[in-house]
Amino acid sequence: MSQRLGVIADTHGHADAWEKALKIWGDVEAILHAGDVLKSGIDTGLADLINISSVPVLIAKGNSDFPKDQESLNWPILSPYVMIWWHGKLILLSHGSHFSQVRELALRSRADLVITGHTHVGSLVREGRTWFLNPGGASLPRGRDPASVALIEESIIQIITLDGELLHYEIW
């Protein structure tokens, strides 16, 4: 099994974005979704695709994720925060709609990596020892960059468009 994580945010029910992301990531240990998963009340087929994932899908609840959405997904989206320990690094996953609270929690807990979505704009910056990653919007991108996702490897973080173009790359 490869030591890689797929990262996605703000799919908003776009099944095609999920399918493109899977091809970009290849073999991963898990998928981290920073929320706003489905298009509430509209069946786009995305829930079915997520439910058949052969690897764990960890989801932080977004501001557009509602209780009815949970009924469609096998993976829980009840918590605004998901923390995991991955290959010696602490990762905090949150949607990011209250970024100042996420930032404070991350710095207090000495997280190595914080993953958020919400803005639909990809970014990767470091504050002290903590990296802050937004993979960008997998659907409905904002700003100058197209729809994107991220790929995390043991020492590399990449933001990649859904067409496979590398947008950003850092060693962490």
Whether 102 and 109 have beta carbons less than 8 Å apart is answered as no
**pLDDT (tens digit, 9 = 90+) per residue, 109-124?**
999 999 999 999 999 9
Apex CA 29: angle with CA 24 and CA 31, to 5°?
A: 60
**pLDDT (tens digit, 9 = 90+) per residue, 74-129?**
999 989 999 999 999 999 999 999 999 999 999 999 999 999 999 999 999 999 99
Check which CATH number belongs to the domain holding 109 and give it: 3.60.21.10
Total residue length of the chain: 172
The model's pTM is 0.97
Q: Which helix (H) or strand (E) holds 156?
A: strand 156-161
Task: Provide the residue range defining the domain that includes 117.
Answer: 4-171
Task: Quote the number of domains for the chain.
Answer: 1
